[in-house]
Structure 1
Amino acid sequence: MLDLVIKDAQIFDGTGAAPVHGDLGVTGGRIAAVGGKLGAARETVKADGLALAPGIIDGHTHYDAQITWDPFIDPSPALGVTTAVLGNCGFTIAPCKPADRDLTMRHLTHVEGMSLDALRAGVRWGFESFPQYLDMLERQGVGPNVACFSGHSAIRTFVMGEEATERTATDDEIAAMVAQVREAMAAGAVGFASSTAEAHNGEGGTPMPSRLADDRELRALVKAMGESGRGIYMLTKGSKTSIPYLEELAVEARRPVVIAALFHSNTNPTAAFTTLDLVNQARSRGHQLVAQTSCCPLSMDFTFKSPYLFESMAAWKPAMAAHGYDDLVKVYRDPAWRDAVRQELAASRGRLVFNSEWDKLFVVETAKEQNRALEGATLAALATKAGKDPLDFILDFALSENLDTMFVAQLLHNDETAVGRILADPNTHISLSDAGAHLTFFCDAGFGLHLMGHWSRDLGVLDLAQAVHRLTGQPAKLFGIANRGVLAEGKAADLMLFDPATVARGPKRRVHDLPAGAARLTASAVGLHGVWINGAHVADDKGFCADPSSRPGEVIRRFAA
């Protein structure tokens, strides 16, 4: 007898093929049969014509810290995600020497927008090396399946300590880092991840360690990964790592290079397409470059206590280096500092995270009751009404509310015609949820539901079979996850049951449930009726429904070449 039968479903198998109507049976956490009419089971779910697909594979998450205290990495499983890839951009917490733990957490508070109090209260440091980190996850158990990148910044800090953010590495230090990459690949890393992006800064505005790597170091580490005959080099690129350069690395390592983050900018509208053209030209030469993009507009909630969208600017560094509230206020009031910021905004328009689109920056929540009428207004309109420069207005207003005003910025990827062209390219990797990071700025963990609802059903950019494939079978092949992403006999029973007519991500909301009571943004699913991980029921139409102590997931440590 089967353990589970889901009856009368429109079955999207994850390959991009048209759906078939029928049943799906599960036994022992594996798919036992697909299609036709199946017999009795210990549990039967009547789909009544709903869509049944593989669970979503989220290829760009930052749950490395959260998973140590929250094995179910809320909210991803309740949003259809059954497999999460951790360690993107190289911002891992392993390897890490005990003496460097606080340094590592302080880096994450800025680059990943995480609460330092939450990290200090929550992270369980039952490891030092990367293999020990994977072993710890296996001992503790995981809710969804997880695959983990070996992380450049963590490795650099492990080898160089605090000097990792200050200088290039010596030959001996590079050799020690190479040994760490080899050890991680042998232990079951999905690949090696790094960042050269100028927006990626740690505490006080210091660059994340990987940004200090020179050409010798990058080539040595990527080649070390490729020695295993498998693995992916994942990079969040900056201005110094061009697409032709990354093509060279792909050729040398003979491995795929996944390049983040491909966002469309209204102020530099051709840049994303130029990048995509270069990536596709490399692919036409047989070299495995993959552009990683999002199906969600990039928006951020923020206060001026931690305004991430400005922190990639050189002129903003005095604010990032400020020690405490009083020092920060002093910087914000300084006319010379404001002028420097204004000049950089003008000189670098189209190349920053925030590009002076004041009409796309809104007041979300004021701290003072008398200002409530301003909520929902744009900074462009408010500054014009006040007869002030927008930068002066927003800083003065924030200062008047003790920097507690909540703003939201609609930054990138909000031209739906342009974004649709990027998503329609069959070779882009649709991901970039950043789930587990930027917890106070945004929550895109429901990106897959948004793709199926908004982009497929509402706009028709992809048909539903294609949308499912881009979330399941395609990333499974990219990452070498051989037994997931497709509904076929013998494959893992990672399943998602949803209503194509209503599927969507729900509105974001702020909760205070992190360790130490820290806040985060979260969201619920719309039109999602069930999620199963290795055959275990973890979410229904009301949300997460599993026993929190259950651990149905697998720490994936074997990958196809």
Structure 2
Amino acid sequence: MADDLLIRGARLYDGIGGEPFDADLAVKDGRIRAIAPSLPVDAETVIDAQGLALMPGIIDSHTHFDAQITWDPYVRPSPALGVTTAVIGNCGFTIAPCRPADRERTMRNLTQVEGMSLDVLRQGIRWEFETFAEYLAQLRRSRSAVNLACYVGHSSVRTWVMGDDAARREATPDEIERMAALTREAMDAGAVGFASSTSPAHNGEGGVPMPSRLASDAEHLALIEAMAHRGGGVYMVTKGGQMPVALLEEMAARAGRPVMIAALLHNGTNPDAVFADLDAISAANTRGRKLLGQVSCCPLTMEFTLASPYPVEGLQSWQPALSLKGAALEALLADPQFRKRVRAELAAPATFRLFNGEWSKVHVVQVSQERHRALEQKSIAELAARAGKDPLDTMLDLALDEDLTTIFTAQLLNSDEQAVSRLLTHPHSIVSLSDAGAHLTFFNDAGFGLHLMGHWSRDRGVMSLGEAVRRLTLQSAQVFGLRGRGLLREGYAADLLLFDPATVGRASQRRVHDLPGGAARLTTDARGVHGVWVNGHLVANAAGLLDGAPLAGELVTEFER
């Protein structure tokens, strides 16, 4: 019987991290049937891959497709960028479990913490579930273009148990036990692990902390133990400065499970902090604890307006602005005392913050008034120097003059390439943090894998292409226990990426209007990608996502331990 697909003469990067080899690869019924130097030509589809490379599909371990997947089973743009498996629910910002009474609160929190449009969420989310198990059942029914593994989220679990109090106070022992029971139920239903956040940058509507930020150490410990009650699961947390690696090591010790720590990004104003965390992670591993630091291969660059200024929302001095809109917000932004407090905070040292007053890295992208057109593509530092004004005043005055519609961009973190190369090659880091599905109007790093292979491997020579492939495939498959994925091996799932090593990379960002209601988002296109297969089905080619691409992804609910 003929195979479904035969890829002939490709250079195979099998995921192990070693040298590539030339071979043919045959696919039958969604699985890799054979790999050999020369296979018989007996397939429905034959592709001549001379001069191209073939690797396992990219596993994106840090996405936020929880809401988008309910209206867009193609989870655009990830499949066209080589991603064949996505782990959703990171940071605990999930939409399940969720009672009907909590849906509006959940959407409003996502609007703030994940930079999502409330109108888009209201029009787009299909609420055909309440419990986590029912959410998984909905995903099975609707299917998706990529494979999915789902965290159960701390903030959702907390809200289910505590309601409005979830973002106001610590939990009682009884409430912690009820959360633990929900966590165990979710793990039994097929969750890949438990995700949380203690980051001060993670605020819900009106600047109120996301619920997980109110959790005590005892609550975190109880819930990771609940996660691991059957010997499985990965604990993922975006940690704030008050959460030491030592506590995370204790969690790993109690649960006997891996702990995934985000977001380890290099900060030019506090350059040693991220390496101190990685040193602590390394020390924990020498003691037999499995800790990993999620790092990014992309500079963290965000577009924003002063109506939704995610880069500065973590500043304590900015908190009074988070609950305001319209004229009240504009009045506060014009207040000299407010500006004085913001300047003072930016001038003070901090262990970590997203924005550090590096005004040369903040640019005007788009103005709404023609008389300001000459300001576009100029840095705030340049404009301030030209006007003889303070940079903060320069940015706020321009935004206020345009009713807060001015679009700015800020390069926030990970801009020192020498430092980032150390993060990428650290033995206990995992290349991740695409945030695909979130911050849709701010930035788009869904092409992180192509950027790692093109920029960091080919152009910078920081690692071999084989090692880049390993870090994008097998490493995550092993951490999460994704059985039969992450390698080019006979019998493994035919999750495949065919690409040109000489041109692979990601294109510049562009804006499209395809969200529910025609709302805008940022996207990026692939370079050098010739084909993406999910479980043996072609979903994207050199032109991008196929029209009517099959929803060939699997919902993964069973994991190796």
Letter matched to residue 377 of structure 1? K
Q: Please list, as runs of the form range in 1=range in 2, the aligned pairs for 1:480-559 lying within 5 A after superposition.
A: 480-548=481-549, 550-559=550-559
Structure-1 residue corresponding to 2:354: 353
1:129 aligns with 2:131: yes
- Rounded to whole Å, the distance in 2 between the matches of 1:275 and 1:527 is 35
* CA distance in 2 between partners of 1:215 and 1:355 (Å): 29
Shift of 1:366: 1.1
Matched, 1:46 2:68: no
Post-superposition CA distance 1:265-311 (Å, at most 9, x none): 11111111111111011111111000100000001000101000000
Letter of the 1:229 counterpart: G
Distance 2:141 2:367 in 1: 45
Alignment of 1:123-522 (within 5 A): 123-322=125-324, 324-349=325-350, 351-522=352-523
* One-letter amino acid of the counterpart of residue 386, structure 2: K
CA distance in structure 1 between the partners assigned to 2:261 and 2:344 by the alignment: 30
Check conservation: 1:11, 1:52, Cα contact below 8 A. Answer: yes
- 1:77 corresponds, among 76, 79, 87, to 79
- Mapped partners of 2:168, 2:239: distance in 1: 19
Structure 1 position 350, deviation (Å) = 5.8
How far is the alpha carbon of 1:226 from its aligned partner? 1.3
Q: Distance in 2 between matches of 1:529 and 1:488?
A: 21
CA distance in 1, matches of 2:207, 2:349: 19
Confirm or deny: 8 A CA contact 2:241 2:352 kept in the other structure.
Answer: no
In 1, Cα distance between equivalents of 2:254 and 2:486: 29
Q: Does 1:55 align with 2:46?
A: no
Give the match's secondary structure for 1:106: helix
State whether residues 278 and 428 of structure 2, in contact with CA within 8 Å, keep that contact through their aligned partners in structure 1. no
CA offsets per residue over residues 213-264 of structure 1, 9 Å max, x none? 0112111101111112011000000012101111011101111100001101
The structural deviation recorded for 1:351 is 2.4
Distance in 2 separating the partners of 1:426 and 1:71: 35
Tell me, in whole angstroms, the C-alpha distance in 1 between the residues paired with 2:109 and 2:371.
37
CA contact 2:273–2:351 (8 Å) conserved in 1: no
Which stretch has the larger CA shift, 339-348 or 149-158? 339-348
**Contact residue 110 and residue 204 of structure 2 kept, 8 A:** yes
After superposing on structure 2, the runs of 4+ consecutive aligned residues of structure 1 that deviate more than 2 Å are: 348-351
Secondary structure in structure 2 of the residue aligned to 1:359 = helix
State the distance in 2 between where 1:354 and 1:428 align.
23
Q: Given that residues 304 and 403 in structure 1 are in contact (C-alpha distance below 8 angstroms), is that contact kept between their aligned partners in structure 2? A: yes
**1:380-427 CA distances to partner (integer Å, 9 max, x unpaired)?**
111111111111111001111111111100010010011001111133
- Please give the TM-score of this superposition, normalised by the length of structure 1: 0.99
- Measure the CA separation in 1 of the matches of 2:28 and 2:134: 32
Query: Residues 363 and 377 of structure 2 are in contact (CA less than 8 Å); yes or no, is this contact kept in structure 1?
Result: yes
Task: Please give the alpha-carbon distance, in whole angstroms, between the structure 2 residues aligned to 1:274 and 1:166.
Answer: 32
1:49 is displaced (CA, Å) by 2.3
2-structure distance, mates of 1:109, 1:462: 38
Q: How far does the alpha carbon of each residue in 1:445-487 deviate from its partner, in whole angstroms, 9 at most, with x for none?
A: 0000000000000000010000000000111001110110100
Q: Kindly indicate whether the alpha-carbon contact (under 8 Å) linking 2:241 and 2:351 is maintained by their aligned counterparts in 1.
A: no
Could you say what secondary structure the match of 1:136 adopts?
helix
The answer (yes or no) to whether the contact 2:366–2:408 under 8 Å persists in 1 is yes
Give the Å deviation of 1:53.
Answer: 0.2
Report the 3-state secondary structure (helix = DSSP H, G, I; strand = E; otherwise coil) of the residue aligned with 2:510.
Answer: strand
> Which residue of structure 1 lines up, in the alignment, with residue 93 of structure 2?
91
Instruction: Output the CA distance in 1 between the equivalents of 2:359 and 2:456.
Output: 27
Can you give the 5+ residue segments of structure 1 that lack an aligned partner in the other structure? none
* Uncovered stretches (5+) of structure 2, i.e. residues with no partner: none
User: For each residue in 1:21-58, what CA deviation from the matched residue of structure 2 results, as whole angstroms up to 9, or x when unmatched?
Assistant: 01000000000011211121011011112000000000
- Note if contact 1:267-1:350 (Cα within 8 Å) is conserved in structure 2: no
Alpha carbons 2:63, 2:89 under 8 Å: kept = yes
- Contact kept, 8 Å, 2:56 with 2:497, in 1: the verdict is yes
Q: For residues 227 and 255 of structure 1, what CA distance do their matches in structure 2 show?
A: 10
Mapped partners of 1:156, 1:351: distance in 2? 26
| Separation (CA, whole Å) in 2 of partners of 1:187 and 1:429 | 27
Q: Is the CA contact 1:537–1:546 (under 8 Å) kept in the aligned structure 2?
A: no
- The CA deviation string for residues 161-219 of structure 1, in whole angstroms up to 9 with x for no partner, is 11100011111111110011000100110000000000000000000000000112111
- Counterparts of 2:527 and 2:318 in 1: how far apart (Å)? 39
**2:557 counterpart letter in structure 1:** R
State the superposition RMSD in angstroms.
0.9
**Which of residues 108, 111, 118 in structure 2 aligns to 1:109?**
111
Partner Cα separation in structure 2 for residue 170 and residue 182 of structure 1: 18
Q: In the alignment, which residue of structure 1 is the partner of 2:17? A: 16
Task: Name the aligned partner's letter for residue 140 of structure 1.
Answer: S
Q: SS at the partner of 2:10?
A: strand
Q: How far does residue 349 in structure 1 lie from its aligned partner after superposition?
A: 4.8
Q: State the identity %.
A: 58
The whole-number CA distance in structure 2 between the counterparts of 1:499 and 1:374 is 39
The alignment covers a number of residue pairs equal to: 559
- What whole-Å deviation, never above 9, does each CA across 1:485-516 have from its counterpart, x for those lacking one? 10000000000000000000011001111112
SS at 2:327's partner residue?
Answer: helix
Query: Match of 1:458, as an amino acid?
Result: D
TM-score normalised by length of structure 2: 0.99
Alpha-carbon distance between aligned partners in 2 of 1:462 and 1:430, rounded to the nearest angstrom: 13
Does the 8 Å CA contact 1:265/1:350 hold for their aligned counterparts? Answer: no
Could you tell me how far apart the structure 2 residues matched to 1:254 and 1:518 are? 44
CA deviation vs aligned residue, 1:284-342 (integer Å, no higher than 9, x gap): 111100010000000100010100000001111111011x3111111111111111111
Partner in structure 1 of residue 560 of structure 2: 560
AA matched with 2:153: G
Equivalent pair of 2:281/2:428 in contact (CA under 8 Å): no
